[in-house]
A = this chain, B = another copy of it.
Amino acid sequence: MAPFLSKRDLNFQLFEVLDTAALPQRPRFADHSRDVYEDILNLAYAVAERHFAPHAREADLNEPQVVEGRVRLVPGVAQAIAAFRDAGFFSAHHDEALGGLQLPWVVMQAVQAHFQAANVGTSGYAFLTIGNANLQRVFASPEQQQKYMMPLLEGRWLGTMALSEPHAGSGLADITTTATPRGDGTYSINGTKMWISGGEHELSENIVHLVLARIQGAPAGVKGISLFLVPRYRVQADGSVGENNHVVLAGLNHKMGYRGTTNTLLNFGEGGETIGELVGEPGRGLAQMFHMMNEARIGVGMGAVMLGYAGYLASLEYARDRLQGRAASQKDPSSAPVPIIRHADVRRLLLRQKAFVEGGLALGLYASSLVDDLETGPEEGREDTRLLLDLLTPIVKSWPSKYSQEALSDAIQVMGGAGYTRDFPVEMYYRDNRLNPIHEGTEGIQGNDLLGRKVTQAGGRGLQVLLSRIQADLDASAGLDGLEEIQAALKAAVTQCTQALQTLLAQAGQIGPDLYLANANSALEMLGHTVVGWMWLRQAAVAAQALPGARGDDADFYRGKRHAARFFATHELPRVRAHAELLASIDRTTTDMQEAWF
């Protein structure tokens, strides 16, 4: 069995490309050191390997089932969640006063990466709980935090996000679940929620739902939506679990992948009253959710990266071992077949995977480091950091979701028929990852967010910050050995992006919002590839500087980094031009298309 994660690369990204080892200089992390971080990452690897990886396929093959109104999962899930809890990961990035380790976000993401790679389905229960608690930490009252957040940090209860409804998935403005004041400050919740991951199970004695609903008389649209804490079982004054709160499982969704994470249809207020507590002010529900959206979307992107990465490692191991065929120049049929990694097209498929997943990992961790900079970095520059993070978030979410899927298709292709069977994990990763371009905002929504909001936000300041950081890295890498291709291709891509956006923005007022956004997907593609090209420049520059002093495996590792950058430059970055030209042409093909013509 191939490893599910490359420790060497994770260390490279955290400690050579990013300066994670310098974080302990910040007051919040004063008790930390690189050794502490490495110990925690080693613990994550051990827990993931021992408790998460072994039942990944079993959970895929044995979908969650409804038994007497509850959801039954394979036994490994509960054991894994217990191990995750015992290792302290539920609260690891929280304050020491809350029992946490005050881990930086980038290290927390690296921890989570292990579980996403080892078993994305089971890790879902943990990460939904962490996301729920993070939101409570910012917006819930101290009493609510004591009642609903602390059990999550302790891993005693688990949490969900209950946003979508059967008629309103991407269109949250139209949700109809109602919240009726009960006169005592609490609300009676009624409605149906769809696509709720972890919405019902027997893993914990209670489940805390964060629910979007409308208070009676609230205005239409997003301004009428409020956020509520709704427990599966009511919580008694002493914090113990009380009577049924009538959140009823109405059905399970049967998915192509991600099968370990049960996905539910829930009725609130069926067969009795469902009582919820308002979080913060009325009408702020969507804004509160979106406050956490950067982190949630980075999490989706990182999950996609790790599935792609695990697939890459599996197909790499196979390609080294599998003997088949000969070089085109080898005409002697009695010569021995060679490992398929020697064939140029197999190497292309492996290099492409390497370029996508290591580029995606660099991007996900870079964005995570921006979250740290925003929270604990120098005051000066935080606004720029926030705008850059806002700009990058739709890319961090969508680029790995799409290109890990390409990588996983390549992993299957390397392995041929074997990759298409359950004898190897890549077909499962391929099914699992196909969810990532859909949830937490579809690719279409990310494109609109990027071009419609982030590119123009604060007068385009986020884009300026991005371009100046890319330029600074280009300047700093000038003269380094073996970087010619990535430097030239990145410069060309930056020029193409800049010109396309200038052309489009100059006409934005005239063409109106619908046509302005018609080719938002090309903006996402064009900027996505350019940003990942930048990530490859950064990695290649570190490698080029380290190479003269490196020996053996280390030297090979750095040469591989530099070569993957070259691959991204020669095989991938040239795709930017077609997207830039389409965007600049203000192409009307999609808007001109009539429904009757399909």
Interface, chain A (partner B; CB < 8 A): 164, 167-171, 173-174, 194-195, 219-223, 253-257, 316, 320, 323-325, 327-329, 333-334, 337, 339, 341-351, 354, 405, 409, 412-413, 416-417, 419-423, 427, 430-431, 434-435, 437-439, 442-444, 447-448, 452, 512-514, 516-521, 556-557, 559-560, 563, 566-567, 570-571, 574-575, 577-578, 581-582, 585, 587, 589-598
Query: Which residues of B lie under 8 Å from residue A557 when comparing CB positions?
Result: 597
Q: Are B570 and A514 in contact (CB under 8 A)?
A: no
What residue of chain B has the Cβ atom nearest to residue A560's Cβ? B597
Interface of A is mostly: helix
Given contacts A328-B517, A578-B578, A581-B574, whether A593 and B417 have CB atoms under 8 Å apart is: no
Query: Which residues of B lie under 8 Å from residue A333 when comparing CB positions?
Result: 173, 219-223
Among B174, B348, B413, contact of A437 (Cβ-Cβ < 8 Å): B413
Q: Are A442 and B430 in contact (CB under 8 A)?
A: no
Q: Are A344 and B413 in contact (CB under 8 A)?
A: no
Q: Are B413 and A328 in contact (CB under 8 A)?
A: no
Among B328, B516, B518, contact of A514 (Cβ-Cβ < 8 Å): B328
List 6 additional contacts besides A195-B417, A348-B521; criterion CB under 8 Å.
A171-B325, A221-B334, A328-B517, A344-B519, A350-B598, A417-B438
Query: Which residues of B lie under 8 Å from residue A351 when comparing CB positions?
Result: 589-590, 593
Q: Which 9 A-B pairs have the closest CB atoms?
A: A221-B333, A560-B597, A345-B444, A574-B578, A328-B513, A256-B427, A220-B334, A344-B518, A171-B324
Given contacts A345-B521, A439-B417, whether A571 and B560 have CB atoms under 8 Å apart is: no
Q: Are B324 and A170 in contact (CB under 8 A)?
A: yes
Query: Which residues of B lie under 8 Å from residue A174 when comparing CB positions?
Result: 324, 337
Q: Are B341 and A254 in contact (CB under 8 A)?
A: no
Query: Which residues of B lie under 8 Å from residue A435 when comparing CB positions?
Result: 420
Given contacts A170-B324, A345-B444, A442-B413, whether A582 and B570 have CB atoms under 8 Å apart is: yes
Query: Which residues of B lie under 8 Å from residue A575 when comparing CB positions?
Result: 575, 578
Query: Which residues of B lie under 8 Å from residue A556 when comparing CB positions?
Result: 594, 596-597
Given contacts A333-B222, A344-B518, whether A323 and B589 have CB atoms under 8 Å apart is: no
Q: Are B598 and A571 in contact (CB under 8 A)?
A: no
Among B171, B413, B571, contact of A438 (Cβ-Cβ < 8 Å): B413
Query: Which residues of B lie under 8 Å from residue A431 when comparing CB positions?
Result: 256, 431
Q: Are A325 and B170 in contact (CB under 8 A)?
A: yes
Q: Are B345 and A520 in contact (CB under 8 A)?
A: yes
**A563 vs B578: C-alpha distance in the bound complex, in angstroms?**
19
What residue of chain B has the Cβ atom nearest to residue A452's Cβ? B328
A-B contact pairs, 26 of them (CB 8 A): A171-B324, A219-B333, A253-B417, A254-B421, A256-B422, A327-B514, A328-B452, A329-B513, A339-B595, A341-B595, A342-B595, A344-B520, A345-B444, A347-B593, A349-B444, A350-B598, A351-B593, A405-B409, A412-B438, A413-B442, A413-B444, A417-B439, A419-B438, A556-B596, A567-B589, A574-B582
Question: Nearest Cβ distance between residue A438 and chain B, in whole angstroms?
Answer: 5
Question: Nearest Cβ distance between residue A9 and chain B, in whole angstroms?
Answer: 11
Q: Are B337 and A171 in contact (CB under 8 A)?
A: yes
Question: Nearest Cβ distance between residue A576 and chain B, in whole angstroms?
Answer: 9
Query: Which residues of B lie under 8 Å from residue A520 when comparing CB positions?
Result: 344-345
